[in-house]
Structure 1
Amino acid sequence: MNKRQAIPYALLLIAFLTWLYLKPQDELAVLAEHHPSYIAYNLDNTHYDETGKITHKTYATKAISYSDKEITIFENPKVILYITNEQDNSVTTWQVTAQNGTLSENNKLLLFGDVWVKNLSLDQLVQTMNTEKMTVLLAEKELSSQLLVHWQGPQMKQQGIGMWASLASEELIVKKQVKSVYLNENK
């Protein structure tokens, strides 16, 4: 190849390199400082303990997780808690529902907006609880609220302000203003 034939190729190479150097770079989209790790619709999640037993199941119409903050926000959460009695190996099942919820530290679930706790096994003195805001410690199976709580059981209706309950040890402590109605009906 002589000089005359090489000049057009050299000019074309110089033009291409100049174009690459001067070409505007596409900017990557800048994400918000705290963008979600994932957004899930119709969430269905099952949690197990070290021995392989189910500890709880979580359902929600929408879940937004922020892994950098270790927070998950739920819309219409429903949590099914399974409590195994070590003496007779029976399982009591509780359902906790609310309009909204926030899970932090993979254990602390803050529920608010028409919170309901129901005993699905129908084997406890307390069958239902209702309040506007409640904290659930999933690993400990503990519930607490500082607001007015209503609860019902066979032949009783009660309410009080401020409550702590352990589903595992079947304890319930009400802090103040307890009102009780006992029904003398056969059920």
Structure 2
Amino acid sequence: MNKTNTLALLFFLASIIAYSIIEWHRTSVGEDTFIEDDITPDFIAESLNSETFNPQGELSYIIDAARMEHYASLAVTHFEFPKYTLYPNNSDSPWKITANEGTLYNNNRVKLENRVTLVATDNTSLIQEINGKYLELDLKTNIISSNNKIEIKGKDFLMTGSGLIVDLNTKQVTLTNHEKTIYQHHQK
């Protein structure tokens, strides 16, 4: 091969390599942009406060959150530090549930995670507080559930276990896997 053919072949190979690198880079940048656009929230609210009413016009629940991000394409809303105040049917005393994170799905189910606490506002309630890492809340039925470890504090007792179901409308609590209960009698 003469010198001119060798230089032409090297130039041709360098052109193919440069073109391949440019196309590869453009394709990867395009994919990253597409993924980034796909997970961008449709709207964001800071210091959110929202009240929801049932069909009879009665207050159903209030949500306060430090931040809310709504993703319409995913049909989910993410909350930072959500605080729900729940008003069960036929009850004058609401329940308050807080967490570090919450995700609301279109079927009105909320998954609450990280330092979840359910507190009774009625001082005469047998159960005063329920703590765990994860709870699910159905906003339509006011039923709270979890398969994770749970701690239940009440008047003169502390109970631990897992497999929790709480119906706030009937005030019925079910713990399917009981670990232990500690009774404490307070002297007056």
Could you tell me the TM-score, scaled by structure 2's length? 0.77
* Identity %, equivalent residues: 25
- Between Structure 1 and Structure 2, how many residues are aligned? 155
Distance in 2 separating the partners of 1:144 and 1:40: 28
Indicate the SS of the match to 1:92: coil
Secondary structure of the residue aligned to 1:143 is strand
Measured in 1, the distance between the counterparts of 2:121 and 2:107 equals: 24
Decide which moves more: 59-68 or 34-43: 34-43
Map of 2:78 onto structure 1: 73
| Deviation string, structure 1 residues 94-149 (Cα, Å, up to 9, x no partner) | 00000001000151000100000000122321110000011011111011111110
Given candidates 35, 40, 64, the residue that maps to 2:45 is 40
Q: Which residue does 1:49 correspond to in 2?
A: 54
Q: How does 1:107-146 map to 2 (within 5 A)?
A: 107-146=108-147
Q: CA deviation at 1:34?
A: 4.0
Partner SS, residue 94 of structure 2 = strand
Matches within 5 A, 1:1-187: 32-85=37-90, 90-186=91-187
After superposition, give the CA deviation of every residue in 1:50-82 in whole Å (9 maximum; x if it has no partner). Answer: 111000000100000012222000000000001
Unaligned runs of 5+ in 2: 1-32
> 1:117 corresponds to which letter in structure 2?
L
| Aligned-residue CA RMSD (Å) | 1.8
Pick the structure with greater CA Rg. Answer: 1
Query: Structure 1 residues 123, 37: CA separation in 2 closer, same or farther (over 3 Å shift)?
Result: farther
8 Å Cα contact 1:70/1:106 also seen in 2: no
d(CA) in 2 for partners of 1:100 and 1:168? 25
3-state secondary structure, aligned to 1:32:
helix
